[in-house]
Chains A and B, each alone.
Chain A
Amino acid sequence: MTEATENKMSFRARLPAPFRHVDPAVLIAFGCILLLLLLGSLYSSNFLSPEYLLQQLKVASFLGVIAAGMMLVILLGQIDLSVPWVMTMGAMMACAAAGSGSIGTILAIPFGIFCGMVFGLLNGFGVAYMRIPSMIVTLATNVVVQGLMVLYTGGFSPQDSAPKAMRWLATGFIIPGVPNAILVWAAVSAAMVFLLMRTTFGRAVYGIGNSERAAYLSGIDTRRVIMIAFAVSGTLSAFGGVLLAGYASKAAQAMGDAYLLPSIAAVVLGGTSILGGRGSYLGTVAGVILITLLQSILSVMQMPEAGRQIVYGFVIIAMLLLYGRAPANQ
């Protein structure tokens, strides 16, 4: 053990009990969220109002659902680059099902999500059983899904407006004042925490991320675990698409393009190692909120797109340099 980690541990040992077991990366991420809120409130007093914060959480929930799946894949040391079009497909297929009749309307949301699961399974099969690097498989799947959707929207006249159920899921209220999208995100989060912390599947995910060989030798069916993880990621991407289509009340080409980089960034900023095996779900939640707040502040400041991209890139690099660095010695 190096001197640096000993120092870090002694620092953590001095913290009050509830914080002692929290990943320092998660603490920094939450600290940055507070900093952003503070900066925002200097700019406009609306920033700390409950309405604004709930609105931010609602916008964050689409990214949050997708990032939950992405985190599972990154914990394995893999990556899912098929998010943009699997997400668009989820939205388009749900709308298409709703346009096909009364049974279709009932099945719209499950059908959209099911399509995402199919392509997630395809990704997982390629990565786990054919041993092709995940970056390549998911890249190819993304192009295939894009091709299917171009064919669908160009070849037939598509139904692209979201049915009532989807709009209700994203913007309706079960609890007064709290949009349903937030509840959906909370439910997905609770399921993820349960999956990662309380099931053998979750422990296997961490194990495989640390050393796939060791996990295999200790009797874990590593290929099945990897395939299921990709299936979950595809499912949640499509679910995110369904939610977003409900929020925007329609599905559109390339609506998922803006979600690939933020979903990876949110997971990594939340302290999950891109090499796999390390990270907590709380960190991912922090990362999602952090990125949403950053985007919101830049748009409130009416920063043009160019400036937003530049600031966004600088913030990610700065935060990675702060705590996303690889160990120093070779």
Chain B
Amino acid sequence: MSEWRYWLNEQRGTLMGLAIFLLMFGVYIANHPAGLTVNVAQTAANKGVLLAFIAMAQAMVVITAGIDLSVGMIFVLTNCIASWIVVGTPMQTALGLAGVLLAGTICGAINGLLVIYGRLQPIVATIATGAIYFGLALLLRPFPGGSVNEDLADALTGRLFGTIPSSLVGLLGIVLLVWLPFRSSEIGRAAYAAGSSEAAAFMSGVPIRRAKLAAYTLAGLLAGMGGLFLTFFTYTGEAAYASGSGYTLWSIAAVVLGGVSLYGGRGSAVGAIFGAFAARTTGDMLFVFDVDPLWQPLLQGIVLLIAISIGAIGLLRVRNRLDWFQ
């Protein structure tokens, strides 16, 4: 096989995610009364970017065969922090930004330390830390409120040169700054190795602990960026439990739609981004098809159920029944 076919095989999940998204977005745009206008693209991008950040965060951890059920709560917590400190003069705003991102990073690092050095199962450990993060968010914002530097917020949720949604540019920047260096580094490859076979990776001297810690920490950072963007969209902070748990659940869905294997070692954060956009498009589609809003959660659930069932098609190719129990 030539080089590019290896590459294609490696990227299969990501390309699947891209295909699902393009298909759904195509159907959406074809039926949209206004068609593909700058406004439609901007709204779609702004809604998609929030989930995309959380999905990237989830993908980081899932690649190491872990799971982070606290991403939604880190998202809510950083939203509440941002609504306090990302205000004032440019200097104060910059410090505030740094503070918010640091808070997200610390939350992620705590998860990582508990899972790696505390040797706790990721599912239960992050459920518990999620409760703590949500409690802290409630302490900061018992009632919705606060404000944010509006110039910065408008710049990041508006358009560049009148056409390109700047939130998309921001997301692309984060992919280039965080994801690509991570993936091509030794740590990133170790994260994949830990996800596909931790025992084998450990015995070959791969630094799995450092890799997993980096993955959880970066997940916290990315979730913090999501929380920051939420503040830019809403101008307020709100400790909403439903929002936090909803984002956690949809981040897992986005990761699956984006072709990241929940068993670890396969897929990419880019795929998760496409998965997030696809998940968001299901909601938008119901709008253009003029479906009663009451039907929206049910249809979203059915789309999700169908999407994950497609993943089961591989079963038809199984020759030996023992292959089921990988």
Listed in ascending order, the chain A residues whose CB lies under 8 Å from chain B are 79, 81, 126, 130-133, 135-137, 139-148, 150-151, 154-155, 212-213, 216-217, 254, 257, 261, 264-265, 268, 274-275, 304-314, 316-317, 320-321, 324-328, 330
Known: A126-B309, A275-B121. 14 other contacts (CB 8 A): A130-B312, A132-B308, A140-B301, A141-B305, A142-B249, A146-B301, A154-B294, A155-B292, A213-B325, A310-B139, A313-B135, A317-B120, A325-B120, A327-B119
Measured CB to CB, the closest approach of chain B to A196, in angstroms, equals: 21
Measured CB to CB, the closest approach of chain A to B43, in angstroms, equals: 23
Closest 7 CB pairs of A and B: A147-B298, A309-B135, A143-B301, A306-B138, A144-B301, A313-B132, A310-B135
Tell me, in angstroms, the Cα distance from A198 to B239 when the chains sit together: 47
Measured CB to CB, the closest approach of chain B to A29, in angstroms, equals: 15
* Chain B positions within 8 Å of A330 at CB level: 198-199, 202-203
Tell me, in angstroms, the Cα distance from A148 to B315 when the chains sit together: 29
Q: Does B86 touch A at the CB level, under 8 Å?
A: no
Measured CB to CB, the closest approach of chain B to A268, in angstroms, equals: 5
* Chain B positions within 8 Å of A328 at CB level: 119
Q: Which has the most chain A C-beta neighbours within 10 Å: B130, B131, B249, B312?
A: B131
Q: Does B38 touch A at the CB level, under 8 Å?
A: no
* Chain A positions within 8 Å of B295 at CB level: 147, 151
* Chain B positions within 8 Å of A327 at CB level: 119
* Chain B positions within 8 Å of A311 at CB level: 135
Q: Does B256 touch A at the CB level, under 8 Å?
A: yes
Partner among B297, B305, B324 whose Cβ is within 8 Å of the Cβ of A131:
B324
Tell me, in angstroms, the Cα distance from A27 to B114 when the chains sit together: 24
Tell me, in angstroms, the Cα distance from A131 to B322 when the chains sit together: 12
Tell me, in angstroms, the Cα distance from A302 to B213 when the chains sit together: 37
Partner among B142, B202, B294, B309 whose Cβ is within 8 Å of the Cβ of A150:
B294
Interface pair B134/A324, CB less than 8 Å apart:
no
Tell me, in angstroms, the Cα distance from A79 to B202 when the chains sit together: 27
Q: Does B84 touch A at the CB level, under 8 Å?
A: no
Listed in ascending order, the chain B residues whose CB lies under 8 Å from chain A are 67, 114, 118-121, 123-125, 127-132, 134-139, 142, 198-199, 202-203, 239, 241-242, 245, 249, 252-253, 256, 262-263, 292, 294-302, 304-305, 308-309, 311-312, 315, 321-322, 324-325
Task: For A325, give the chain B residue with the smallest CB separation.
Answer: B119
Interface pair B308/A136, CB less than 8 Å apart:
yes
Tell me, in angstroms, the Cα distance from A28 to B202 when the chains sit together: 33
Interface pair B249/A309, CB less than 8 Å apart:
no
Task: For A306, give the chain B residue with the smallest CB separation.
Answer: B138
Task: For A327, give the chain B residue with the smallest CB separation.
Answer: B119
* Chain B positions within 8 Å of A132 at CB level: 308-309, 311-312
**A144 in contact with B129 given A151-B298, A216-B322, A324-B120 (CB within 8 Å):** no
Measured CB to CB, the closest approach of chain A to B291, in angstroms, equals: 11
Interface pair B123/A79, CB less than 8 Å apart:
yes
Task: For A261, give the chain B residue with the smallest CB separation.
Answer: B127
Tell me, in angstroms, the Cα distance from A264 to B130 when the chains sit together: 14
Interface pair A313/B315, CB less than 8 Å apart:
no
Measured CB to CB, the closest approach of chain B to A315, in angstroms, equals: 8
Tell me, in angstroms, the Cα distance from A325 to B115 when the chains sit together: 9
Interface pair B198/A212, CB less than 8 Å apart:
no
Task: For B208, give the chain A residue with the smallest CB separation.
Answer: A330
Tell me, in angstroms, the Cα distance from A146 to B298 when the chains sit together: 7
Partner among B131, B242, B302, B309 whose Cβ is within 8 Å of the Cβ of A312:
B131
Task: For B253, give the chain A residue with the smallest CB separation.
Answer: A139
Tell me, in angstroms, the Cα distance from A313 to B118 when the chains sit together: 15
Partner among A142, A155, A313 whose Cβ is within 8 Å of the Cβ of B131:
A313
Measured CB to CB, the closest approach of chain A to B205, in angstroms, equals: 12
